[in-house]
């Protein structure tokens, strides 16, 4: 698990997680009291994540973080429309 700033600087590098842990579980652990990610993040910070972090979104948003993640396709939708695909690539 790595936390990289927009400048390319790596500020957190955690590697001792069981393989059965997913991204959301690892992030949830790193947000606990006394963990490095908990100390680093402040309300209003912007976090760009992939879809593997979906389960931890409520926890991140409750901390006042601005979270950006690609949208999910509707199960009945084969692909995004051109406009949806373009919007999905933006971080506002």
Question: How would residue 91 be classed by pLDDT, with cut points 50, 70 and 90?
Answer: low
Q: How confident is the model at residue 64 (pLDDT cuts 50, 70, 90)?
A: very high
Continuous H helices in 1-92: 23-30, 36-40, 57-62, 82-88
pTM of structure = 0.69
Q: Residues 4-56: pLDDT tens digits?
A: 888 888 887 776 777 788 888 888 888 887 777 788 888 998 888 888 888 89
The domain limits of the chain are 2-88
What residues are paired with 10 via a beta bridge?
4
| Owner of token pair 């931890």 | 56
pLDDT at position 74 over 80? no
Please name which of 71, 74, 49, 72 lies closest in space to residue 60, comparing C-alpha atoms: 49
Predicted pLDDT at 44: 92
Burial class of 60 by CB neighbour count within 10 A (0 to 12, 13 to 18, 19+): buried
């Amino acid at each position: 698990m790595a936390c990289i700033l927009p400048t390319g600087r790596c500020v957190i590098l955690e590697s001792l997680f069981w393989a059965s842990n997913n991204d959301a579980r690892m992030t949830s652990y790193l947000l606990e009291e006394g963990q490095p990610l908990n100390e680093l993040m402040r309300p209003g910070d912007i976090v760009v994540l992939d879809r593997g972090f979906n389960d931890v979104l409520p926890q991140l948003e409750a901390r006042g973080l601005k979270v950006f993640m690609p949208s999910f396709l509707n199960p009945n939708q084969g692909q995004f429309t051109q406009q949806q695909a373009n919007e999905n690539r933006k971080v506002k």
